[in-house]
Structure 1
Amino acid sequence: MDTHLKMIDFDFEKLRPIGLTQVVVNSLGAMQDTTPPGSRLMRIVETQRDWFTLHDGDAEHRARIAQRLVNVLQMQDSTVTVGDWAVVTEGGADDLWIAALLAPVTQIARRANDGRRQSLASNVDTALLTMGLDDDFNPRRVERYIAMVRAGDVAPVVVLTKSDIARDAQERIAMLRERLPASVPIVAVNGMSEHARTELMPWLHQGQTLVLLGSSGAGKSTLTNTLTGAFTQDTGGVRRGDGRGMHTTTARSMHLCPQGACIIDTPGLRTWRPDADGAALAAAFDDIETLARQCQFRDCRHQGEPGCAVQQHIAPDRLMNFRKLMRDAERSEQTPLERIAIRKKWKSLHKAGAVRARDKRR
């Protein structure tokens, strides 16, 4: 049955299979007086430079973004991304325009090298953190992924691919289970096998939205094809010698699974600077936070102090990764003026040290 919320038309049952929830519907109320008659609710399933592909529950449509919304997003340091819910209006010659975006319930984002915020996916329930059991295997990287998606209120699931061909696969799986928090599911699959769909079935229910995150060559596109039951994404191999992947996915896009879930495939991530404060990121290392309360000293930095419970129980590599993530978060929270002041401070200290060393030599 069609639902009419003053100015915005939508069919809840038709949109529910592509992720519409009552929480999203409730947020429409704030937009009802600012939207022209005949506006429609659609979900963004692919982004290009100037055009966007949206789904209305029946079919896909192409649309452009209204300049007024572009200005608003620039002021908010935000962008349009796959998974967003959009209010769409019709212009002349049946052109469609994105007039407004609903505030995302959840969002995964990162900071670019120049400090700009870059959204990766919106309104996501679960992140499938994909990592190969071959040369792509990197426990530190997956720990950082877990911290960052949890900071965005998204549930992480570690998906280890190439379990059928990787050497030492069982040892690596066991090591990761011991290292990661017990609350994070770990699933090892052959991405080309139908069995992968069975293993991931608990997260493929109707209305669920998942995003695949991982490095190039980890098997994200292969897994997308298996879970959707169709050849929707091009796939490629890895380079000989270093096992690094070759980009096959060049844009984020959303696909539908036969079980009813939506899957967002993303290009391989080379870097992922955190877009969250230290407290949110530290929640992913809850074992360290819990043990820190048992340290002998309240201000223990876990760097050789006597009676440090953290160093007694946490692997040095995991602790080093935790410290690096906290430093990244601290830098992300600094204003440009604070970063300049810190650079000046270290430059001054370095200069003073060079002077002392020169005086000693004399």
Structure 2
Amino acid sequence: MEINFEQLRPIGLTQSIANQLYTLKDPLPDGARLMRITEVQRDWFGLGDGPLEHRARALHKLLHDLQEYGDTLTVGDWVLVEGNAGGELWITARLPPVTQIARRANDGRRQPLASNVDTALLVMGLDDDFNPRRMERYIAMVRASGVVPVVVLTKRDIGRDVQQRVEQLRHRLPPDIAIVAVNGLSDDAAEQLRPWLSQGQTLVLLGSSGAGKSTLTNTLLQEDVQSTGGVRKGDGRGRHTTTARSLHQSPAGACIVDTPGLRTWRADADAEALAATFDDIETFASRCQFRDCRHESEPGCAVRAQVSEDRLLNYHKLLRDAQRGQQTPMERMAQRRKWKALGKAGSARARDKRG
């Protein structure tokens, strides 16, 4: 199979991605072409081959096989595409992603957000959207996926206590995390983010509704490709203006994936991988009196003595979410029955005491 690197490199093809062709079980069919998914709709997919955009459908067998492993096609995937006698294009295979950011639904199902991503721009507004604990969780989940996180604080021009909030994050987050405060409507935003916008790089914007992702996307692309909207006056939450993930190429050369707002984001990583992203906690844990210290109420805990209570609570919450995400449906049902029985027993004891 011939690959036109000169044509595909601008939309993110790398040698490590191309090497994934050797991992496919079936032989490469004659006439197959390598393309990248740029948009996912219910019945069709947008594809890019460099200079042109195409539409295609996916073979039912491919979708079924991916579903068997809790996976599906998503924006950023590299796929093999074949044409039929009627001129229709069909996706027949997917290259295993080099990186993939995903989340777990409430029922434990895995939902990919974007594939083959180099950098995640974690967008948070400097208005009522500002939430350091949420940002801390976002960073942990992105790093556990093997993707570089960059914190982008939007609405610098209208936010409250801008400098204090930026310094609060610098003090709280690991020192190797880049933090950039921007006005998403200003061309300066593209200049501030230029180090991550070089040709062939793929970025995904992640954040809650109303954080300014679509506004920033339009600024980076220098055209209005996404609708934008305001936020509610009561709580600062945004309305869903972006309803589907899509990949676009910026004038600077990078591919940018915009995504709908995240209401919730449950980790798609095991507890061990997530724990490793809290570098400070891992370092201090080696100094705890007990090797199996859980950093809760044990004596001689070095972590509680050095790490803020809020950060430690966030750490425990993230690990609990990860453990729940790895449970099977039967395990979740058993856990619910256990807590229901404990609740009934507690109520019975209370009634006995009251006579």
TM-score of the superposition, structure 2-length normalised?
A: 0.96
Aligned residues with identical type, % of pairs: 67
- 2:307 and 2:113 map into 1 onto residues whose CA distance is 31
Match of 1:283 among 276, 281, 287: 276
1:28 deviates by 1.3
**Which of 169, 185, 203 in structure 1 is aligned with 2:178?**
185
The residue number in structure 2 matching 1:36 is 29
Distance 1:122 1:260 in 2: 18
Please give the residue correspondences for 1:255-334 in structure 2 after superposition, counting only pairs within 5 Å. Answer: 255-334=248-327
**Cα distance in 1 for residues equivalent to 2:224 and 2:115:** 24
C-alpha separation in 2, matches of 1:299 and 1:40: 52
Q: Say what the alpha-carbon RMSD is for the aligned residues.
A: 1.4
* Equivalent in the alignment of 2:123: 130
Distance 1:220 1:348 in 2: 44
Instruction: Quote the Cα distance in structure 2 between the aligned partners of 1:28 and 1:295.
Output: 47
Q: Quick one: which amino acid aligns to residue 185 of structure 1?
A: A
In the aligned structure 2, how far is the partner of 1:359 from the partner of 1:247? 50
Map 1:1-362 onto structure 2 (within 5 A): 5=1, 9-31=2-24, 34-362=27-355
Shift of the alpha carbon at 1:41? Answer: 0.3
- TM-superposition CA deviations, 1:313-338 (whole Å, max 9, x none): 22211111111111111111222222
Q: Would the alpha carbon gap of residues 350 and 25 (structure 1) be closer, same or farther in structure 2, given more than 3 Å must change?
A: same
- Secondary structure of the 1:130 match is strand
CA distance in 1, matches of 2:265, 2:36: 25
Secondary structure, counterpart of 2:218 in structure 1: helix
| Structure 1 residues without counterparts, runs of 5 or longer | none
In 1: Cα distance, 2:242 partner to 2:333 partner: 37
Q: How many residues align?
A: 355
Q: d(CA) in 2 for partners of 1:34 and 1:183?
A: 43
After superposition, the C-alpha distances for 1:118-170 in whole angstroms (9 at most, x for unaligned) are: 10000000000000000000111111111111111111000000111111011
Q: Which residue identity is paired with 1:127?
A: A
The answer to whether the 8 A contact 2:108-2:327 is kept is: no
Q: Which whole-Å deviations, capped at 9, do the CAs of 1:14-57 have from their partners, x for residues lacking one? A: 10000000011111134485332111000000110001100001
Corresponding letter in the other structure for 2:337:
K
Match of 1:207, SS state, is coil
Q: Distance in 1 between matches of 2:56 and 2:114?
A: 19
Shift of residue 115 of structure 1? 1.6
**Cα distance in 2, alignment partners of residues 217 and 108 from structure 1:** 21
Letter in 1 for 2:329: P
Deviations 1:179-209 (A, max 9, x none): 0111111111111111111111111111100
TM-score normalized with structure 1 length = 0.95
